[in-house]
């Protein structure tokens, strides 16, 4: 469980980097943790003074599943948006979808879990994400 502060997203990203040290999907996983954690704080009550979000990593030699669960409070369905070229926000889930093999969003306005799955391709005996 992570406290709902911006600094905690930085800590979650560092924790992810430490856990996945040497994993072929580590870099992409860090970016996804940052995007999903920031979304939870920005768009739900997870970002309130006593809010929290939960980060879960599941891994195998070639795959990583990153799940972020928020505290809800956002009545609209969650999904990627099309940002205008001058917008400074609104591309997070689009970036996650570009990196992930699969993206699942479950839950309701009372709390959602966004799970992104990364799979490292096998290329001539070398795996990279």
Domain containing 57 — which CATH number? 3.30.565.10
pLDDT above 90: percentage of residues in the chain: 57
Burial of 63 per CB tally in 10 Å (0-12, 13-18, 19+): middle
pLDDT band at 88 (very low <50, low <70, confident <90, very high): very low
**Contact (CB, 8 A) for 111 and 70:** yes
Residue that has been written with the tokens 């070398």 in this structure: 126
Flag whether 99 is in a domain: yes
pLDDT band at 82 (very low <50, low <70, confident <90, very high): low
Among left, alpha and beta (phi > 0; psi -120 to 50; other), residue 21 is beta
Q: In terms of residue numbers, what domain contains 112?
A: 2-76+84-119
Nearest-CA neighbor of 129 among 80, 64, 68, 58?
Answer: 64
Flag whether 129 is in a domain: no
Range from 32-36, 95-99, 120-124 that averages highest in pLDDT: 32-36
Structural domain count, the chain: 1
């Amino acid at each position: 469980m992570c406290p709902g502060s911006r600094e905690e997203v930085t800590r979650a990203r560092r924790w992810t980097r430490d856990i996945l040290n040497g994993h072929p999907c580590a870099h992409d996983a860090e970016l996804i943790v940052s995007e999903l954690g920031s979304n939870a704080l920005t768009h739900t009550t997870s970002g309130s003074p006593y809010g929290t979000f939960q980060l879960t990593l599941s891994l195998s030699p070639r795959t990583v599943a990153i799940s972020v669960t928020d505290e809800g409070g956002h009545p609209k369905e969650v999904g990627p948006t099309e940002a205008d070229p001058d917008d400074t926000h609104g591309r997070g889930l689009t970036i996650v979808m570009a990196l992930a093999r699969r993206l699942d969003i479950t839950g309701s306005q009372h709390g959602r879990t966004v799970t992104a799955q990364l799979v490292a391709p096998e290329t001539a005996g070398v795996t990279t994400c």
